[in-house]
Structure 1
């Protein structure tokens, strides 16, 4: 029997909706057999979407309780989506290491800082993106995008997570190709350089469906042409929803799995019985042993 997995999820401990148990019940209804919680890690900069440090202990305890309560029905894993802010937060920061996580997702949400020291959030509102582009990079979009991918490579080389989250999320700011285009040589060079580092690091690259089911993008993170390069480099992938609501846990999974099959992928890498394993899949789900 085939079933789904999802390791990128958010609940009410960060910017997601509802308590963790509600997500588990929804996951079971959607045919999910392995589920990972990955709340945004606490940060030392103010945001509206990260877990508060004072809630971290409760988060860990609640997920552990659910592991025991639902162990006969579903495998549950404790993770966090960890930002990479050198000198502040990364997957090897003491408070992340001390959490005893089952896995980490490493994502780039911030690139450099404004003059007052405030980190520039690159995947938030577009006006904030444009302000950082103007104030930090003098409007040079190539330099800003290159910095994003440089930061990604720096994370993979110095504090590598288990999973690379939405590796090309910066494309959400492209203004439908008017501000910058994935077809430009300089952009493709940055992506390919990042994939080379990813291959060397051993990281898993997630195929993240959120941009599609939220109707912000025509395809997943990363784009199809990038996935074709990932296959050539034999970098492992997994399918994740980046869900923030119980209804999103398997959103666009069947379509994305079909697309990945069409490209030529045969397996997804999953955390199963506390080990990373490669398992076959179809558009109907994964064959989990």
Structure 2
């Protein structure tokens, strides 16, 4: 019984990743990936250090589609974007008709001390400055806004995949800002998971927190257990920014998911979303 991996969350030099899309494809093949998706950060109408420039979008789409044809028979390739959900500014629906799939993520929450979009998954220094100067240190209020925005996204601008669900926890070093076991936090999670389940979105299990931050997968094991109770479909993604990261931490993550009770992952294969069995060695189409 042969095993393989898939990864639909990847970044290359069109945004804040390194190396070319073709270098990603070649590395994916070497790492036993059978289906791979390009998902550069979508263009946004303001300046930041990691999004694709608007004038490069057509080139990105064209190159990705050309690679689909070039490597047909060696690997299945799909063209996506990781799309920022910012109400009134941008969201998955703005790009969906040009793509094979969409990843919807919340990277910004309101505005910062300068009236600019406040990045909530960047450097902790900037996050703390916004928390203190704009939100008077009210981390509970910020988290409630964050999860409310995720709910709004899946209800009003549904992506195929929800990106790094609880990534805002990167600032909660050793529980210094909030307790993930507190009743109010678990209630926010439950409301958000209920909305995701109703919308029928896939939630990615993102391994970047493990290999890059030495933290945890996104979402946490506690959240994954609650997702399992709701039969929310998952996929395993690495959020790779270099070709070498495409399958990092997949084996341990797959084992962890099996321990939780997941037996299937939802993936885009043969141009359809399908549930495929997996174990710690990867996905399998065998019996």
TM-score normalised to the size of structure 1? 0.97
Give yes or no for contact 2:109–2:119 (8 Å, CA) kept in 1: yes
Match runs of 1:15-54 below 5 Å: 15-54=16-55
Establish whether residue 140 from structure 1 lines up as the match of residue 138 from structure 2.
Answer: yes
Q: Which runs of 5+ in 1 are unaligned?
A: none
The 10-residue stretch of structure 1 (54-63 or 179-188) with the greater mean CA deviation from structure 2: 179-188
Quote how far apart the aligned CAs of 1:180 are: 1.2
Selected match of 1:181 from 179, 182, 193: 179
Selected match of 2:229 from 229, 232, 249: 232
Distance 1:258 1:74 in 2: 25
Q: State the partner residue of 2:189.
A: 191
Q: State the partner residue of 1:204.
A: 202
Matched residues, number: 285
Distance 1:163 1:147 in 2: 20
Selected match of 2:160 from 159, 162, 165: 162
Q: RMSD over aligned Cα, in angstroms?
A: 1.0
| Deviation readout 1:218-255 (Å, 9 max, x if unpaired) | x2000001101100000000000000011100000010
Give yes or no for contact 1:3–1:288 (8 Å, CA) kept in 2: no
Establish whether residue 271 from structure 1 lines up as the match of residue 268 from structure 2.
Answer: yes
Q: Which runs of 5+ in 2 are unaligned?
A: none
Distance 2:257 2:63 in 1: 34
Distance 1:48 1:177 in 2: 28
Distance 2:261 2:249 in 1: 19
Quote how far apart the aligned CAs of 1:189 are: 1.1
Give yes or no for contact 1:107–1:166 (8 Å, CA) kept in 2: yes
Quote how far apart the aligned CAs of 1:135 are: 2.2
Quote how far apart the aligned CAs of 1:97 are: 3.8
| Deviation readout 1:110-160 (Å, 9 max, x if unpaired) | 001135431110000111001111122111110011111111111011001
Quote how far apart the aligned CAs of 1:76 are: 0.2
TM-score normalised to the size of structure 2? 0.97
Give yes or no for contact 2:113–2:130 (8 Å, CA) kept in 1: no
Q: State the partner residue of 2:249.
A: 252
